[in-house]
């Protein structure tokens, strides 16, 4: 095997492997470095994919216990087989990571197994061997942010990695952090029978989400049995044979308190994983949050060195990293890459799901932009009624003068799928009128999107 490549990508997560595959499709000689035994990075191995497998399994279990009777389906002697549920999760992960191995073989991408370091511009060290590359891409992803005073052991105090592989349903799971990861995994274990308490330092959950949606989302989660302690700081943790004792205090100051838990999940955010790459040795510039600083073409201050995904600024989302990987590969091949950062959807895969796109009301107000709002509840959607999933609504924000779509927010069944229509509309500069005049199939959940678009101009039909 030759030790010289047109491109070496460091990291085989969604950003890295997609960048490698696309570059190979465009005729570049490509290698991808991955130190895990499997490809796919955090997302496929210990993140997006296994969590969605458990979310689906736990939803099925909960529906069988609590919802199927409404549909005339009676079930007796229902039992939870957690070992089988975890085994299925592993099977789903295995199928996905093997799929990437196939893509590498199909497209001629060389997999360099081991940890990488960049010894000099254009040189990558892997397993004691040096490789030359005209271009190097950092796509090393991110890791869980630690919380001072709450040491993770992945047994009693866990990150998302440990929370995906608990050997038994905890009696009381405490989630530190009211963001996407904490709420998704908290929902899994709540459905399987755990008492779940979410502690959030801020006075609201899912920071950055449209506040009206966030408040409605919290009410739904509370109906499902999740408890919330907002405006609360965790200052310490004591582990013993009985579990974990957390020390709490109000975020704005006050008397301390304690809370007992069997398992504690630390989910306060993620940070770029850049350890061992030797970036400081070669003078790579970072920003105030430790991320690699890049220009509009993903280039660092070092010639031939680029970075994408969680390693750089922007939302830490797999699909954002994938789009950056494709755009960069196309740029390196002499084409024009494209990522529209104003149209990147974000989804919380609880049930109901929450999906957001573009600006929130709070952001529009802060920017002094005049806007109109159109909303439509799923209680008025025929398909949602037939499904028995009527919680939530669609909310569309449009420019008051031009009617151009500025933001879209959906709380409801299959919100993550429904948001794609509005992402397409926003990508091509559509107005709410454009969406309203599209014929939507009946009966479908997507009719709620049409009705919300109609509601922007005060002419929804079914409310």
Residue range 133-166, pLDDT digits in tens: 999 999 999 999 999 999 999 999 999 999 999 9
Q: Where in the chain is the domain with CATH 3.30.390.30?
A: 346-456
**The pLDDT of residue 280 is above 50:** yes
pLDDT tier, 1 (very low <50, low <70, confident <90, very high otherwise): very low
Mean pLDDT for the stretch of residues 350-373: 98
52 carries a ligand binding annotation: yes
Q: How far apart are CA 358 and CA 430, in angstroms?
A: 13
Please tell me whether 422 is known to bind a ligand: no
Closest CA to 333 of 21, 12, 50: 21
Confirm whether residue 141 is marked as ligand binding: yes
Q: What pLDDT was estimated at residue 162? A: 98
Distance CA 179, CA 235 (A): 19
Neighbours of 229 (CB within 10 A): 16
330 is in an annotated binding site: no
Give the pLDDT confidence of 293-310 residue by residue, as tens digits.
Answer: 999 999 999 999 999 999
Contact between residue 176 and residue 234 where contact means Cβ atoms under 8 Å apart: yes
CA dist 150 and 156 (Å) reads 11
> Does 16 belong to an annotated binding site?
no
Query: Is 243 flagged in the annotation as binding?
Result: no
**181 assigned binding-site residue:** yes
What is the DSSP annotation of 319-365?
HHHHHHHHHHHHHHTTS-----TTS--EEE-SSSEEEEEE--HHHHH
For the residues 46-57, what does the mean pLDDT come to? 98
Instruction: Calculate mean pLDDT across residues 405-414.
Output: 98
Query: Does the pLDDT at position 16 exceed 80?
Result: yes
CATH class of segment(s) 346-456:
alpha beta
CB atoms within 10 A of CB 186: 28
**Comma-separated ranges of CATH 3.50.50.60 domains in the chain:** 4-144+271-333, 157-268
Active-site residue list: 442
Our CA angle for 49, 83, 97, nearest 5°, is 30
The predicted-structure confidence for 327-341, as pLDDT tens digits, reads as follows 999 999 999 998 999
Q: Is 6 annotated as a binding residue?
A: no
Q: Which residues of 38-56 are buried (b: 16+ CB within 10 A; e: fewer)?
A: bbbbbbbbbbbbbbebbbb
pLDDT(2) > 70:
no
Of the candidates 158, 385, 406, the residue with the CA atom closest to the CA atom of residue 268:
158
Fold type of domain 4-144+271-333: FAD/NAD(P)-binding domain (3.50.50)
Structure confidence at residue 242 (pLDDT): 86
**369-384 per-position pLDDT tens digit:** 999 999 999 999 999 9
Q: Above 80 in pLDDT, residue 406?
A: yes
Locus of tokens 């609201």: 204
- Residue 370 counted as an annotated binding residue: no
Residue 317 annotated as part of some ligand binding site: yes
d(CA 97, CA 46) in angstroms, rounded, equals 11
For domain 157-268, give the CATH superfamily. Answer: FAD/NAD(P)-binding domain (3.50.50.60)
Q: What is the rounded average pLDDT of the residues 72-82? A: 95
When pLDDT is averaged across residues 275-282 and rounded to a whole number, the result is 96
pLDDT in tens, 91-121: 999 999 999 999 999 999 999 999 999 999 9
Q: Please check whether residue 190 is in contact with residue 174, taking contact to mean a CB–CB distance below 8 angstroms.
A: no
| Tokens matching residue 18 | 């997609």
């Amino acid at each position: 095997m030759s030790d010289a490549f047109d491109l070496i990508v460091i990291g085989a997560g969604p950003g890295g492997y997609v960048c490698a595959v696309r570059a190979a499709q465009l005729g570049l000689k490509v290698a991808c470095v991955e130190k895990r035994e499997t490809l796919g990075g955090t997302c496929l191995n210990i993140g997006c994919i296994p969590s969605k497998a458990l979310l689906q399994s736990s939803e099925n279990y909960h529906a069988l216990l609590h919802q199927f009777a409404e549909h005339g389906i009676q079930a007796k002697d229902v039992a939870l087989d957690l070992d089988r549920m975890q085994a299925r999760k592993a099977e789903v992960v295995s199928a996905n990571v093997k799929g990437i191995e196939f893509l590498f073989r199909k497209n001629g991408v060389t997999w360099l197994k081991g940890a990488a370091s960049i010894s000099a511009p254009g040189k990558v060290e892997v397993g004691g061997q040096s490789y030359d590359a005209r271009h190097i891409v950092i796509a090393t992803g991110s890791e869980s942010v630690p919380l001072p005073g709450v040491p993770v052991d992945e047994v009693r105090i866990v990150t998302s990695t440990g929370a995906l592989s608990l050997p038994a349903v905890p009696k009381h799971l405490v989630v530190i952090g009211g963001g996407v990861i904490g709420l998704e995994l908290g929902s899994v274990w709540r459905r399987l029978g755990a008492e779940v308490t979410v502690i959030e330092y801020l006075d609201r959950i899912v920071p950055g989400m449209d506040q009206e949606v966030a408040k409605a989302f919290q009410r739904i989660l509370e109906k499902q049995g999740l408890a919330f302690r907002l405006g609360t700081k965790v200052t310490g943790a004591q582990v013993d044979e009985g579990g974990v004792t957390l020390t709490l205090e109000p975020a704005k100051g006050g008397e301390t308190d304690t809370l007992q838990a069997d398992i504690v999940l630390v989910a306060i955010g993620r940070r770029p994983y850049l350890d061992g790459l030797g970036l400081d040795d070669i003078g790579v510039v970072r920003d105030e949050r430790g991320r690699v600083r890049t220009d509009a073409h993903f280039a660092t201050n070092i010639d031939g060195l680029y970075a994408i995904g969680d390693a750089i600024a922007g939302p830490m989302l797999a699909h954002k990293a994938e789009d950056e990987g494709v755009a960069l590969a196309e740029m390196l091949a002499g084409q024009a890459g494209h990522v529209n950062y104003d149209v990147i959807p974000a989804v919380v895969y609880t049930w109901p799901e929450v999906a957001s796109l573009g600006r929130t009301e709070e952001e529009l107000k802060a920017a002094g932009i005049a806007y109109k709002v159109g909303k439509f509840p799923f209680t008025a959607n025929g398909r949602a009624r037939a499904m028995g999933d009527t919680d939530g609504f669609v909310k569309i924000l449009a420019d008051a003068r031009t009617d151009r779509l500025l933001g879209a927010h959906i709380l409801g069944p299959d919100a993550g799928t429904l948001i794609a229509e509005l992402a397409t509309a926003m990508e091509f500069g559509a107005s709410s009128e454009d969406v309203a005049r599209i014929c939507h199939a009946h009966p479908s959940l997507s009719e709620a999107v049409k009705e919300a678009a109609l509601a922007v101009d005060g002419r929804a039909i079914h409310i």
